[in-house]
Amino acid sequence: MEILGQLLNTTLVFSTALIFAALGGIFSERSGVVNIGLEGLMMFGAFAAAVGGYYAQEAGMGEWAPWVGVLSAMAVGVIGSLIHAVASITFKADQTISGTVINFLAAGSTLYMVKLIFDGSGETPLIDGFSKVSIPGLSKIPVIGEGIFNSYPTTYLAIILVIVIYFVLFKTPFGLRLRAVGEHPSAADTLGVNVNKMRYVGVMLSGMLAGIGGATITLTTTGTFAHNTISGQGFIAIAAMIFGKWNPLGAFGAAVFFGLSQAIRNYVQLFEWSKSIPQEFIFMIPYVLTIIVLVSAVGRSSAPKALGEPYDPSKR
Amino acid sequence: MSRIKKIFATDSYVIPVVAILMGFLVGAIVMLIGGYDPVAAYSALFKRVFGSPYDFGEAVREMTPLMLTGLAVAFAFRSGMFNIGADGQVMIGMTAASVVGIKLGGILPAFLLVPLAVIAAGVCGGLWAGIAGYLKAKRGINEVITTIMLNWIALFLSNYIVRTFLLLQGQNRSEDNPASLSMTFLFSTFDNARLHWGTVIALAAASFFYIYLWKTKQGYEMRAVGLNPHAAEYAGMNVGRNVIKAMFISGVFAGLAGAGEVLGVFHYQSVFAASPGYGFDGIAVALLGLTHPLGVILAAILYGTLTYGSAGMSFGADVPPELIRIVIGSIIFFIAAQGIVRWVLKPFYFKRKKEKVL
């Protein structure tokens, strides 16, 4: 039982970054802008969190330093996403291409700046990240207490955001407009919604959230930023978003699923029966399962209808 | 010849060329902000590539997989799909070439062994990509998600095969592969740079790409499906079959890149710690090359020159080699957002028009 609680806890640690980034992806894609650049936006966030957190720590901010890291990640994530927004919305560039550009610029510029700021070092100095916070009372519940209510503050934030964003998207006028712009931009335009403005908002929110996602990795897992800090997490977040059918709750489920599979790696060696299975097959499980689940249950994808199409009022 | 002239006579080359110049300019500005000397850095970059026969040969070696993965991504793009999975297809191609080369090495003579290993790499890469094509065609499952998943599965599957069946005692890599694509007759000219037949295969693949898509009926169908699947279906084309076929061919290109790396460059296969990233470079090359085979070759030359030369930049001018990614990213950005380039060019166009009036 104890191990189950620990497994759940580790699962959430690995899921948190994916949840943030997938939520970001949902904002962008629900507004009709493909965001292949989540990987790069996470990289920007992870970098900014490491640098911002480092300087805040140097300035003696103690426990608040990681939060400065999160704020820097949000800001840098938004700036990064603006490149994507300008290219794909204003200049009507192919959205897949401009998302790829974000990945490229992020990989290049973050390491360039790390080397510039820290005298040629390929890695930022190690900082103290967040520590786990147990919620009084709730953390005493068996399994769930250890698993959920003794987590990093970012994990709590992620779970709260899933619910908040679900309501924002599906129960508020803003959410309705955002989705309308992604489904049928010309109709939304006729009703007086500023299509391009909504899309800018969607993309910038995606940059902000993916930035926090990246920050989560440096501030809870690695403690530093280097070239391999993100390595594919952004693409997994995209998968989680599609897997979750562009719905915050679905994406949350998918992110936890991927987090679980990463966590299983840490625990699988503990059991006698699992030692005989080659480790590669255990590593493969989540990816194979994803495909199987997609084939058997989920079926046709339900992407926003106008996803990937720049809005051109003259073609209405 | 007249066709080549036509390509360069049209306006279409102006925007990429200006985009490249603007990308270099952005790189220079970033260097100036960082307190580096852009002139020294860029000259060190080109000196590194063209300075010695060895480096030139190695730069060509660097360009080869880029051409093939670029073609792979571009081919899928032309058929309306985004193949993020070239990386996995390269790994599967490598593994197939390793298995065939090492396991049949003592049995078959070289003139059979080498082609067989290359074909196995291409076919296995194609089949690997074909899985994503099949799932898209038959189940409507987004190829972006399946190719991402298949990348990871390919990584672990390759590692498993190398570790279990091909491992060199006590090492983290396979035994030496007796099949070789090396162009040994060129080694003395290029100071032992690792040139290999993969480069020729890549050029052949590009020609195939062009002829197939623009000169055959099947290719016409494929482009039609890429441009508008609904219209193609209405016209009586089998969209699903084209999707599977396009992904298969795309995967063959990537698989061949893997064969070139294993049989021509390393002559063994390592257990990968992480995804090697060939596929992601391929995306950039395909986009730089405007998804046209000739463009992809030119883009691979540019990309290869810049990445190989970036090491020289860091030795010669102390500039972090990552800068080159900013340059490449900016170039793709300006090519994608052509509006910006047109805006920059506007005054020049305006002037030209005025002259005509006069």
Q: How confident is the model at residue B155 (pLDDT cuts 50, 70, 90)?
A: very high
Of the listed ranges A229-243, A275-289, B77-91, B285-299, the one predicted with least confidence: A275-289
Q: First CA to last CA across chain B, in angstroms? A: 34
Q: How confident is the model at residue B203 (pLDDT cuts 50, 70, 90)?
A: very high
Q: Say what the alpha-carbon torsion angle A229, A232, A233, A238 is, to the nearest 10 degrees.
A: 150
Separation in Å, CA A44 to CA A52, A69, A102, A208, B196: 12, 12, 10, 10, 38
Listed residue (A169, A170, A174) closest to A194, CA to CA = A174
A-chain CB neighbours of B157 within 8 Å are 280, 284
From A176's Cα to the closest Cα of chain B, the distance in A is: 25
Hey, how many other C-beta atoms are within 10 angstroms of the C-beta on B241?
A: 13
3-state SS string over A191-212? CCCCHHHHHHHHHHHHHHHHHH
- pLDDT tens per residue, range A266-315: 777 667 776 778 888 888 887 888 888 878 765 555 778 888 888 887 76
User: Count of alpha carbons within 13 Å of B88, Cβ hemisphere only?
Assistant: 25
B-chain CB neighbours of A288 within 8 Å are 149, 153
* Interval B258-282 mean pLDDT: 89
Six-digit token string for B28:
């220079």
Which of B30, B134, B148, B285 would you mutate first to test chain A, the one with the most A CBs within 10 A?
Answer: B148
On whether the CB atoms of residues B226 and B78 are closer than 8 A, the answer is: yes
In one-letter notation, the amino acid at residue A233 is Q
Nearest to A100 among B142, B160, B332 (CB): B332
Q: What is the predicted pLDDT for the residue at A156?
A: 93
Q: Do B337 and A87 touch (CB under 8 A)?
A: yes
Nearest to A294 among B141, B153, B274 (CB): B141
Residue B275 CA from chain centroid, whole number: 16
Strand partners, A133: A151
Q: Do A91 and B34 touch (CB under 8 A)?
A: no
On whether the CB atoms of residues A3 and A282 are closer than 8 A, the answer is: no
Residue B273 has pLDDT above 50, yes or no: yes
Q: How confident is the model at residue B295 (pLDDT cuts 50, 70, 90)?
A: very high
Size of interface A-B (CB pairs under 8 A): 143
Residue B259 has pLDDT above 70, yes or no: yes
Q: How confident is the model at residue B202 (pLDDT cuts 50, 70, 90)?
A: very high
Residue B358 has pLDDT above 50, yes or no: no
Strand partners, B270: B173
Nearest to B284 among A87, A104, A112 (CB): A104
Which of B69, B151, B153, B342 would you mutate first to test chain A, the one with the most A CBs within 10 A?
Answer: B153
The region, left, alpha or beta by phi > 0 then psi within -120 to 50, assigned to residue B35 is left
| DSSP alpha helix (H) spans, A173-299 | 173-183, 185-190, 195-216, 233-243, 248-268, 279-293
Which of A34, A117, A289, A291 would you mutate first to test chain B, the one with the most B CBs within 10 A?
Answer: A291
* Interval B47-54 mean pLDDT: 89
Q: Do B340 and A105 touch (CB under 8 A)?
A: no
From B256's Cα to the closest Cα of chain A, the distance in A is: 24
* Interval B253-272 mean pLDDT: 92
Considering only residues 33 to 72 of chain A, which have any Cβ-Cβ distance to chain B shorter than 8 Å? 36
Six-digit token string for A131:
């520590």
Q: What is the predicted pLDDT for the residue at A164?
A: 97
Nearest to A91 among B142, B164, B339 (CB): B339
Dihedral sign for Cα atoms in the order A21, A27, A32, A33: negative
Phi, psi of A294 (to 5 degrees): -60, -40
Listed residue (B99, B118, B127) closest to B256, CA to CA = B118
Hey, how many other C-beta atoms are within 10 angstroms of the C-beta on A224?
A: 18
Q: Do A284 and B156 touch (CB under 8 A)?
A: yes
Hey, how many other C-beta atoms are within 10 angstroms of the C-beta on A92?
A: 17
Q: Do B322 and A108 touch (CB under 8 A)?
A: yes
Listed residue (A99, A188, A284, A183) closest to B337, CA to CA = A99
Residue B319 has pLDDT above 80, yes or no: yes
Q: Which residue has the tokens 């994803």?
A: A290
Q: Do B336 and A232 touch (CB under 8 A)?
A: no
Of the listed ranges B58-62, B143-147, B179-183, the one predicted with least confidence: B179-183
Dihedral sign for Cα atoms in the order A230, B313, B265, B183: positive
Q: How confident is the model at residue B237 (pLDDT cuts 50, 70, 90)?
A: confident
A-chain CB neighbours of B85 within 8 Å are none
Nearest to B152 among A109, A243, A287 (CB): A287
Phi, psi of B352 (to 5 degrees): -60, -45
Residue B266 CA from chain centroid, whole number: 18
Query: Consecutive 10-residue runs of chain A (316 residues): their mean pLDDT?
Result: 82 94 96 93 96 92 90 96 93 88 92 90 88 81 79 93 96 94 90 92 97 95 90 90 91 92 75 76 84 72 78 72
On whether the CB atoms of residues B279 and B90 are closer than 8 A, the answer is: yes
**Complex ipTM tops 0.90:** no
Q: What is the predicted pLDDT for the residue at B352?
A: 57
Which of A280, A285, A293 would you mutate first to test chain B, the one with the most B CBs within 10 A?
Answer: A280
On whether the CB atoms of residues B221 and B39 are closer than 8 A, the answer is: no
Considering only residues 277 to 306 of chain A, which have any Cβ-Cβ distance to chain B shorter than 8 Å? 278, 280-281, 283-284, 287-288, 290-291, 294-295, 298-301, 303
Residue B11 has pLDDT above 60, yes or no: no
Q: Which residue has the tokens 């190989």?
A: B308
Alpha-carbon span B186 to A39, nearest angstrom = 41
Alpha-carbon span A238 to A234, nearest angstrom = 6
Q: In this complex, is the C-beta atom of A90 within 8 Å of any C-beta atom belonging to chain B?
A: yes
Q: Please list, in sequence order, all residues whose beta carbon lies within 8 angstroms of the beta carbon of residue A107, skipping any fewer than 6 positions away.
A: A40, A43, A227, B322, B325
